[in-house]
Amino acid sequence: MNRIANTFNNRRNNILSIYFTAGHKGLNTCVDILKHLENSGVDIVELGIPFSDPVADGPTIQKSSETALLNGMSVKQLFEELQNLRDDVTIPVLLMGYINPIIQFGVEAFCKKCHEVGVDGVIIPDLPLDIYERHYKDIFEQYNIVNTLLVTPQTSDERIRQIDHKSNGFIYVVSSNGTTGDKNAVLHNDYFAHIKSLELETPTLIGFGIRDNKTFENACKYANGAIIGSRFVQHIEEGYSDKHIKSFVDEIVKS
Alpha carbons 177 and 54: distance in angstroms, whole number: 15
Strand 225-228: give its sheet, edge to edge: 146-148, 121-123, 93-96, 44-48, 15-21, 225-228, 204-207, 171-174, 150-151
Cβ-proximal residues to 80 (8 Å cutoff; 6+ apart), any chain: none
46 noted as active-site residue: yes
Q: Please count the other Cβ atoms lying within 10 Å of the Cβ belonging to residue 28.
A: 11
From the candidates 46, 81, 120, 182, give the one annotated as an active-site residue.
46
205: closest CA among 150, 164, 147, 146?
A: 150
Q: Spot the catalytic one: 43, 57, 120, 182.
A: 57
Q: Is the dihedral of CA 221, 224, 228, 229 positive or negative?
A: negative
> Is residue 148 classed as helix, strand or coil in its secondary structure?
strand
For residue 157, CA distances in Å to 61, 110, 131 come to 30, 32, 20
Q: Using the Cα atoms of residue 187, residue 190, residue 196 and residue 199 in order, give the sign of their dihedral.
A: negative
For residue 116, the one-letter residue type is E
CB distance 188 to 172 below 8 Å: no
Q: What is the DSSP string of 18-60?
A: EEEETTTT-TT-HHHHHHHHHHTT--EEEEE---S--TT--HH
The residues carrying an active-site annotation are 46, 57
